[in-house]
Amino acid sequence: MILKDIWLDVKAVKERDPAARNSLEVLFLYQGVHALIWHRFAHWFYRHKLFFIARFISQMARFFTLIEIHPGAQLGHGILIDHGCGVVIGETAVVGDNCTIYQGVTLGGVGLNKGKRHPTLGSNVTVGAGAKILGSFDVGDNCTIAANAVLLKPLEKNMTAVGIPARPIKILGVPIPKEEKEEVTMESYCRMEERLKVMEQTITELQKELSQHKNNDGDESNH
């Protein structure tokens, strides 16, 4: 089973990385594949509750590849970790089949509680360089997370998300209308508050002017 998973990982790189010339080159020279090979064995030991050996293997992999995958993470088939330096995948993270993960990506947890605390990626998900997906939630199949995005909440399938915090801008490759993707953020709330203050000030000034006009009209009628 492990050998089959390794072969599918090699095949994924060969098919999806245009720089890959042949399977032999991918197997021996791609650190992303090496990290996955180490992880397949570490995860086997982890599932059999041999935690020290599992962790030792994962730390050796980190030393040689600069890719840190906790032995408890569940990885599917045909995963491509491209370049890979700085990738961190947490203990309870789940990565579906045929996902692509670029350098500097973090699948991290938030909080100190035990249990599920890392994200779950569906199949065919692409995570751009430097992106951070933090928390225990699902990212649907066929999603794309842009480079340097910070995703903090669930994402439905077939969506493209960008920004900090990340927000969906496309579904099935079609841009989402602006009114549907706008959200109330702290920044927009502050802008609304400033506008309300200006409006209140303007209303107050208009009321003063109106009051003065009334007083002037009353004085003229008395004369």
Confidence of residue 187 (pLDDT cuts 50, 70, 90): low
The predicted structure's pLDDT at residue 41? 95
**199 vs 205: CA distance, rounded Å:** 10
Render pLDDT for 203-216 as a digit per residue (tens, 0 to 9).
988 888 888 877 77
* Gap between the Cα atoms of 85 and 87, Å rounded: 6
Residues 48 and 86 in one domain: yes
- Determine contact, residues 73/94, Cβ cutoff 8 Å: yes
Same domain, 195 and 147: no
Query: Is the pLDDT reported for residue 142 higher than 60?
Result: yes
168 and 191 in a single domain? The answer is no
Residue 188 pLDDT class (50, 70, 90 cuts): low
Band (pLDDT 50/70/90 cuts) for residue 129 is: very high
Phi, psi torsion values for 3, nearest 5 degrees:
-65, -35
Check whether residue 111 and residue 202 sit in a common domain. Answer: no
163's CB contacts (< 8 A; 6+ apart) are 146, 149, 150
pLDDT of residue 186: 59
Q: Predicted confidence band at 219 (pLDDT cuts at 50, 70, 90)? A: low
Q: Where in the sequence is the domain holding 163, given as residue range(s)?
A: 2-181
pLDDT at 179: 58
Average pLDDT over residues 87-91: 95
* pLDDT at residue 197 tops 90: no
Alpha carbon distance 71, 44 (integer Å):
8
Residues 164 and 132 in one domain: yes
My answer on whether 73 and 114 are in the same domain is yes
Confidence of residue 21 (pLDDT cuts 50, 70, 90): confident
* Confidence check: pLDDT of 66 > 90: yes
- Specify the pLDDT at position 183: 54
Same domain, 84 and 124: yes
Provide the CB-side half-sphere exposure for 65 (13 A, CA).
29
Q: Which residues contact 99 (CB under 8 A, 6 or more apart)?
A: 76, 79, 80, 121, 123, 124, 125, 126, 127
The pLDDT of 66-72, averaged and rounded, is: 95
Note whether 98 and 72 are within 8 A (CB). no
Helices 2-16 and 31-47 cross at an angle (nearest 10°) of 150
Across the chain, mean pLDDT equals 88
Looking at the fold, whether 55 and 86 belong to one and the same domain comes out as yes
